[in-house]
């Protein structure tokens, strides 16, 4: 797996084959085990400030409901009305809902997030409470975090922040993740547990051709729809050379830091997503992310 320089996306064909989650994560499983879990679902993802501006198509719409109601009304009973279907994107099932982390063995060799954060804890917060520990959920230490530190118990803030980098994406066919690259300089991987999903990817060096949106501090985003690019509005996109692939259940896609990606569910879909850091490639980005998180929480605590 090449994570140096721009890196290169990679498909792992049997990524979840040894994980019980591939068998267990049915729609009935989620509708039963997490029936009352509160979730927020959106008609656009990721969120964009540009949506609310003139000509932006309208601000993101968000519904607050239970997971059971979402699956019944929007997955099994997906409305036929025009408009984007509502999408449960970025559900923190592992840090907030007690779902067990699948722990795919292939990912352990490249995901050094918890070890690196534990080393940062010892260096930056030796003998003191880490600022990031304040403001974490009360059950943070008990949540099912990806077990990257063996033989020791990581500090509570390390376990909580590490677990927060893992999410689930659930939705009916037609749910879209718009063209963006992941924040925090993180690598990422996405694995399909249910359904097929189409991905379009472009390297960091293609940024100049993507008409990047201004005023989006949370996540770098492009307004281009790579499946239907508007040549009149986005003429530079003709220079881009996108890659595309379709994942089926059990497969995963490794996305190096800075790679732009777009996704659309071709069938009702459950996707496991993980952001991670690696000592040989993006450790500086992790240091920046930890310091930014600590500073933000320290600022809130002083208010």
The string of pLDDT tens digits covering residues 3-20 is 777 889 999 999 999 999
Q: Examine the pLDDT at 265 and tell me if it is beyond 80.
A: yes
**Higher-confidence residue: 161 or 191?**
191
The full set of domain ranges for the chain reads 10-19+104-302
pLDDT at 296: 66
Tokens for 281, please give them: 């490639």
**Higher-confidence residue: 286 or 152?**
286
pTM: 0.87
d(Cα 169, Cα 89) in Å, to the nearest integer?
5
Q: Examine the pLDDT at 231 and tell me if it is beyond 50.
A: yes
8 A C-beta contact, residue 16 and residue 252: yes
Round the average pLDDT of the chain to a whole number and report it: 88
Model confidence band, residue 153 (pLDDT cutoffs 50, 70, 90)? low
* Helix residue spans in 65-149 (DSSP H): 67-70, 93-96, 105-108, 113-124
Give the mean pLDDT of 139-159.
53
Q: Distance from CA of residue 300 to its chain's centroid?
A: 25
Q: Examine the pLDDT at 226 and tell me if it is beyond 80.
A: yes
Q: What residues form DSSP beta bridges with 87?
A: 42
Model confidence band, residue 143 (pLDDT cutoffs 50, 70, 90)? very low
Tokens 């980098």 sit on residue: 165
Write down the architecture of domain 10-19+104-302 according to CATH.
Answer: Sandwich (2.60)
């Amino acid at each position: 797996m090449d994570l140096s320089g721009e890196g290169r996306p990679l498909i792992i064909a049997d990524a979840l084959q040894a994980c019980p989650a591939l068998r267990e994560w049915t729609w009935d499983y989620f509708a039963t085990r997490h029936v009352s879990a509160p979730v927020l679902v959106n008609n656009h993802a990721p969120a964009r400030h540009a949506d609310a501006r003139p000509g932006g198509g309208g601000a993101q719409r968000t519904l607050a409901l239970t997971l059971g109601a979402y699956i019944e009304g929007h997955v099994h009973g997906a409305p036929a009305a025009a408009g984007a279907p509502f999408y449960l994107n970025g559900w923190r099932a592992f840090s907030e809902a007690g779902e067990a982390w699948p722990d795919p063995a292939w990912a352990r060799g490249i995901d050094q997030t918890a070890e690196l954060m534990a080393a940062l804890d010892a260096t930056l917060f030796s003998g003191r409470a880490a600022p990031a520990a304040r403001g974490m959920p009360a059950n943070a230490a008990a949540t099912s975090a990806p077990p990257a530190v063996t033989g020791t118990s990581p500090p509570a803030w390390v376990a909580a922040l590490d677990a927060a980098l893992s999410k689930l994406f659930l939705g009916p066919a037609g749910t879209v993740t718009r063209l963006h690259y992941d924040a925090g300089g993180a690598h990422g991987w996405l694995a399909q547990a249910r359904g097929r999903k189409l991905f379009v990817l472009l390297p960091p060096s293609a940024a100049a051709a993507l008409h990047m949106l201004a005023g989006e501090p949370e996540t770098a985003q492009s307004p281009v729809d790579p499946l239907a690019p508007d040549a009149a509005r986005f003429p530079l996109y003709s220079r881009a050379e996108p890659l595309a692939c379709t994942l089926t259940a059990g497969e995963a896609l490794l996305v190096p830091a800075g790679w732009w990606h777009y996704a659309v569910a071709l069938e009702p879909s459950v996707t496991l997503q993980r952001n991670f850091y690696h000592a040989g490639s993006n450790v500086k980005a992790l240091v920046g992310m930890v310091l930014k998180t600590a500073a933000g929480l320290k600022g809130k605590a002083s208010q």
